[in-house]
Structure 1
Amino acid sequence: MAAINQLFSGITRDARIQAILVGYVFAGFIEGAAGFGTPAALAAPILISLGFPPLAAAAICLIYNSTPVCPGPVGVPTLTASSTVQSAVEHLGGNSEAFTLALTKWTCIPHMIGGIFIIMIGVCVLTKVFGKNKSFKDALPVFPFCIFTGCVIGVIYILMAIFAGPELTTMTAFLGALPILVFCIKKGFLMPKDIWTFDGVSEWGESSWMSSQQVAQAKDKQMKPFLAWLPYIVIGALLVVTRVGFFHLKPILTSEPFIIHIDHILGFENISWDFKFLWNPGIFPFILIAIFTVFLHKMTKEEMKTACRDSVKQVSGAAIALLFGVAMVNLYRFTCCPSIGNLVASSEFHGEFTFANSSMLYVMANALAKIFNGTYFLIAPLIGVLGSFMSGSCTVSNTLFSSLQFETATLLAMPQVLIVALQNMGGAIGNMICVNNIVSVCATTGTMGNEGKLMRTNIIPCVIYCAIVAVVVGILIMAGVNPMPELLH
């Protein structure tokens, strides 16, 4: 991180441009490579080293850690949403792989439209809440560059979503845009005439913006920048080779002998599990590259132990939530009750319920459908936000609520792909106010005790982002767009 930090220090002095470049673009790449709160934890210290007040760095990194979350780290949030509703899709005669590709595409298109606005909103928060003049006017000169940034990332983002699937989309889009934007900044393209900085911030009388405790700094090992970037480059290359169909490696990596079979789990004849370990991105390439990096960066045994300990601590919370979240959702989906069957038969909605066993999930979907009816698309992203706020993860949010969103869409005869896409986007947007991320970035920046202030600052951008994607999807629905019409009978 110390080596990467040096790359950003000499590009521009304008804090607004630095916030976009580090907080949105670089952190977006980190989201695509790692996720789980890592982007804000890595990008915020870089912004602090560039002169940002710690609380401002924390706020901007949280706001910007929204668009990159879908499809997210190796596509995990989107793949989770798709796998959660897989049996429902197949029950209605759909193809689960086609659903995944459609979900990726129709998540990314509205998400990038909202992403352009959130770049501008982030700069507005920076100048209005943390600026010396407390004015939105200070944000206006960088709006052209905000739009340009969103368009550069958006072109790569949407093309990858359409042609390569979810695994590569986020990492490739933000990493590909980074050198383009750095080049444009150095050439002065769309740069504001006046430089806006935090020079003299210590004299502004805003002590609450500063760190209240000692913050660990990245250890400078005099590493060459290329060596620092190399693990990420190798990960991206391996993902391209294994995920893009041109190389024809999927049939090899998902077949024998690279499958672990477990049959008759707990003695139940119909419960089994297949683990395609070389197709799992956590193992290939991430664990392999992590081991490779130990030798590449000449890490000591103590550094290696620290990295492993911190990594386990970082993902353990989400792992526990996922474990019991999956169990709870399956109880909702498959618990049978005869009285619910009568409710199914008397339902006023024309959509077909996807499970014949009259589950608890239907009762919740039926209630939402009755309350919101044709305006449900306005509520769908807020449910995703709620899931992230509670669990701290878009992946867990999708685990909890994707099936509910799918069932409600089916009952209302709305395009299920678009409604589950809103769930996916809502889960990503919720990252800017989720408790786990706020606590994590406050600890990283030494601003513990300001969690409530951060949440109040970020709730408005969160709601605006939800409104934008909901309106975009609502227009698509009213225009008759349905990526998989075969799911509605």
Structure 2
Amino acid sequence: MTYTQNFTVVGDSLALSAIVAVIPILYFFWALAVKRMKGYLAGLTTLLIALMLAVIAFGMPTQMAIMSATHGAVYGVLPIGWIIISSVFLYKLTVKTGQFDIIRNSVVSLTEDRRLQALLVAFSFGAFLEGAAGFGAPVAISAALLVGLGFNPLYAAGLCLIANTAPVAFGAIGAPIIALEGPTGISAMEISKMVGRQLPFLSVVIPFYLIVIMAGFKKAFEVMPAILVTGITFAVTQFLSSNFLGPELPDILSALVSLLALAVFLKFWKPKTIFRFSAEQEMAATLAVNEPSGHKPTYTGGQIFKAWSPFLVLTGVISLWGIPTIKQALTGHYEGTNVVLSTINSIGHAFSFIPNVPLLNNKIINAAGEAIPAFYKLELLGAAGTAVLIAAIITKYIVKISWKGWIVTFGETLNELKFPIITIASVVGYAYVTNSSGMSTSMGMVLAKTGFLFPFFSPILGWLGVFITGSDTSANLLFGNMQKVTATSIGMDPVLAVAANSSGGVTGKMISPQSIAVACAAVGLAGKESDLFRFTIKHSIILVVIVGIMTYLQNGVLSWMIP
């Protein structure tokens, strides 16, 4: 039995088919933003609705729809859920052993100002992790760090999701841009250049935008020098590296340059007033009365280095995991002659399981008449979560926690994250059902029919793709070729349209159900996904409209910006 995707199946109309296809999205918005349903319940019920529509409205065989949901759910657990579990576990190890108190003190010694801490941790450090690992690691780790510094969990998660906008397109060693080359046939370098002529404008704005959200315009202007140093150094490095080096390094280089520039700048410049949250100001006043002056602990450089070591080790291991040839070896796909990599390849192959998805593999026929392969990709050694776990094992010896304490902490982490993992598995399952049934393509084809307004809607297509899939890479694979074909038909430069898919996609990351679940899990807000969604949705819409206007202008009066 096979299933041929039909994008006009409802009433033989593309518009009606798209309206039916958008029902699960509208329901999910309602469940979180209006009903304030717990994340895992919203995810499971959205998946159920998508399954019913795929079968009843789009004619997908029931067993195929169910197996497609399992395909997505497995991907939601590995690699995505595995990243969250191992990242939160590593953070908890530093808290349990007292090392995070030293980390907090070291950041506070650089600046006690919450605005500047957000720039350092949420924007620059988060961007570095996005470049090295991608998926959920940047938000999970940077949000947990902010909570440890004293930020409100909801604010920490929301700020890190919004800050993550700037680096997403070049995340995971350039994976979203590299992925576009295959389905579109356009050079990854050309796409990298174009994205590098769009995102830097957002990268300059995002630091200011973050601080305005935190403290308002007046307080943001008080730290404008620091905001400019952070945003401009990041944006300039992002432009130069994306246009002259390629898509692999913009995030890592931009993050390092902005982080170093801001840290050095803060040695010579301080804001006139220290900004803290209102609840903290009351607490600080109480402590000042009850504690003797000069009670703050001081730490040596060695102690500070030791406290940061778990995250330095994490950075090193994740960066190693991201190198293409090593990644190939870890997943058992290395074909070179290097002895060390060949040995790793043997181990990686032994820990990689890629069985066919029963009743689904090569059973779905797409619009081009091609059968779509479907595999459960269980690449255990090559998963980014395994890299974080290895960092956690090394951390055990750095922080000198017993194996019993290490294992107990891991068990506590699993127990805390059981509902977030269910949320992630269900929403990724929904994404796979939507893609397999042809529902997502129906929605995309409607946007593609907007004619001369398509340059404005082109980024919105990417935004929709990331909302559905939770990944800029997946959204690029989903809609990249459609962008190219539509652009060519209306006289728009296909490089601009394909790049806009990725640039628009980054603004959808902060409202993606997967991202919301990851962020809530990292800061202990499981079940509060609706609150975080309400926090980020308006910012996501504002930013995607900005990218849409930018793309529309680049298709006309600013066409000289296209490489």
Change (3 A) 1:177 1:408: same
Question: 1:125 corresponds to which residue?
Answer: 213
Question: 1:23 corresponds to which residue?
Answer: 122
8 A contact 1:378–1:471 mirrored in 2 = yes
Shift of residue 200, structure 1, vs aligned partner: 3.4
Q: How far apart in 2 are the matches of 1:125 and 1:288?
A: 34
Q: 1:399 aligns with which of 477, 481, 487?
A: 477
Question: 1:346 corresponds to which residue?
Answer: none
Question: 2:262 corresponds to which residue?
Answer: 181
Residue type of the alignment partner of 1:461: H
Q: 2:382 aligns with which of 255, 272, 283?
A: 283
Question: 1:172 corresponds to which residue?
Answer: 253
Change (3 A) 1:429 1:21: same
Question: 2:407 corresponds to which residue?
Answer: 302
Q: How far apart in 2 are the matches of 1:57 and 1:44?
A: 5
After superposition, the C-alpha distances for 1:120-154 in whole angstroms (9 at most, x for unaligned) are 111111114xxxxxxx3222222332222111112
Question: 2:274 corresponds to which residue?
Answer: 195
Question: TM-score of the superposition, structure 1-length normalised?
Answer: 0.68
Shift of residue 182, structure 1, vs aligned partner: 0.9
State the aligned residue count: 409
Shift of residue 296, structure 1, vs aligned partner: 6.7
Q: 1:374 aligns with which of 412, 428, 452?
A: 452
Question: 2:490 corresponds to which residue?
Answer: 412
SS in 2 for 1:475: helix
Q: 1:116 aligns with which of 204, 211, 223?
A: 204
8 A contact 1:326–1:399 mirrored in 2 = no
Change (3 A) 1:422 1:180: same
Shift of residue 440, structure 1, vs aligned partner: 2.9
Q: How far apart in 1 are the matches of 2:393 and 2:109?
A: 29
Q: How far apart in 1 are the matches of 2:113 and 2:317?
A: 32
Change (3 A) 1:106 1:330: farther
Question: 1:34 corresponds to which residue?
Answer: 133
Q: 1:433 aligns with which of 474, 497, 511?
A: 511
Shift of residue 12, structure 1, vs aligned partner: 0.4
Give the RMSD, CA atoms, in angstroms.
4.5
Shift of residue 394, structure 1, vs aligned partner: 2.4
Q: 1:64 aligns with which of 132, 140, 163?
A: 163
Residue type of the alignment partner of 2:231: G
Change (3 A) 1:242 1:313: farther
SS in 2 for 1:46: helix
Q: How far apart in 2 are the matches of 1:231 and 1:442?
A: 21
8 A contact 1:442–1:450 mirrored in 2 = yes
Residue type of the alignment partner of 1:397: A
Change (3 A) 1:171 1:281: farther
Change (3 A) 1:237 1:10: same
After superposition, the C-alpha distances for 1:377-403 in whole angstroms (9 at most, x for unaligned) are 211222222222233332332233223
Change (3 A) 1:282 1:143: farther
Question: 1:473 corresponds to which residue?
Answer: 551
Q: Does 2:238 correspond to 1:157?
A: yes
After superposition, the C-alpha distances for 1:321-374 in whole angstroms (9 at most, x for unaligned) are 7799689768869xxxxxxxxxxxxxxxxxxxxxxxxxx96x87764344x212
Residue type of the alignment partner of 1:225: W
Q: How far apart in 1 are the matches of 2:518 and 2:384?
A: 26
Shift of residue 229, structure 1, vs aligned partner: 0.5
Q: How far apart in 2 are the matches of 1:297 and 1:79?
A: 36
Residue type of the alignment partner of 1:14: D
Q: How far apart in 2 are the matches of 1:483 and 1:111?
A: 13
Residue type of the alignment partner of 2:203: G
* Structure with larger RCO (C-alpha < 8 A, sep 6+): 2
8 A contact 1:70–1:108 mirrored in 2 = no
Q: How far apart in 1 are the matches of 2:240 and 2:411?
A: 38
SS in 2 for 1:417: helix
Question: 2:222 corresponds to which residue?
Answer: 141
Change (3 A) 1:385 1:289: closer
Residue type of the alignment partner of 2:193: K
Q: How far apart in 2 are the matches of 1:161 and 1:332?
A: 33
Q: How far apart in 2 are the matches of 1:10 and 1:197?
A: 15
Shift of residue 24, structure 1, vs aligned partner: 0.9
8 A contact 1:69–1:394 mirrored in 2 = yes
Question: 1:225 corresponds to which residue?
Answer: 308
SS in 1 for 2:112: coil
8 A contact 2:203–2:231 mirrored in 1 = yes
Q: How far apart in 1 are the matches of 2:457 and 2:210?
A: 23
Structure 1, unpaired ranges of 5+: 90-94, 129-135, 205-219, 244-251, 334-359, 485-489
Structure 2, unpaired ranges of 5+: 1-90, 284-302, 327-332, 364-369
After superposition, the C-alpha distances for 1:433-464 in whole angstroms (9 at most, x for unaligned) are 22222233233333455433432332232222
Question: 1:80 corresponds to which residue?
Answer: 179
Q: How far apart in 2 are the matches of 1:431 and 1:379?
A: 17
8 A contact 1:32–1:170 mirrored in 2 = yes
Q: How far apart in 1 are the matches of 2:426 and 2:180?
A: 18
